[in-house]
Amino acid sequence: MSAKRKEDSYRDFVLDQLCSLEDVLCRSMFGGYGLYLGEDFFGIIHDGGLYFKTDETTRANYRNRGMGPFTPSEKQVLKSYYEVPVEIVEDDEELVSWAREAAARRGKGKGPAKEMS
């Protein structure tokens, strides 16, 4: 399976896990995908990983589970986005809860220009 098809398959899985969350949109960006809840940018799917927006109050939930920040390259680290643990991704109810919490973090971004399915 090509890397693009594998990434698309993971994206589809994540979106399926989040299907009970209304207004989730996915937009292609920088070789991965951005996730929005309504107008709020809250997640990144990149290279087979899912990363949610964090702040000082939620980051410990990720660190305590051994998760690290989003590092798209050796020179770039986005410390406000942390990888979501696999056990959370695989539990749709927990994933929806974590997604809601991520979307509620400060620093809201503009909504997506278009929806991807």
Range of the domain at 97: 3-103
| Tens-binned pLDDT, residue by residue, of the chain (117 aa) | 566 677 789 999 999 999 999 889 999 987 899 999 998 999 999 999 999 999 999 999 999 999 999 998 889 999 999 999 999 999 999 999 999 999 998 654 444 444 444
User: Encoding tokens for residue 86?
Assistant: 């696999």
Number of domains in the chain: 1
Euclidean distance between CA atoms 73 and 16, whole angstroms: 28
72, part of any domain: yes
Q: Which of the 8 DSSP states describes residue 95?
A: H
Is 67 part of a structural domain of the chain? Answer: yes
**In angstroms, rounded to a whole number, what is the distance separating the alpha carbons of residues 19 and 57?**
26
Flag whether 117 is in a domain. Answer: no
Q: For position 82, which CATH number holds?
A: 3.30.1460.30
Asked, for residue 116, whether it belongs to a domain, the answer is no
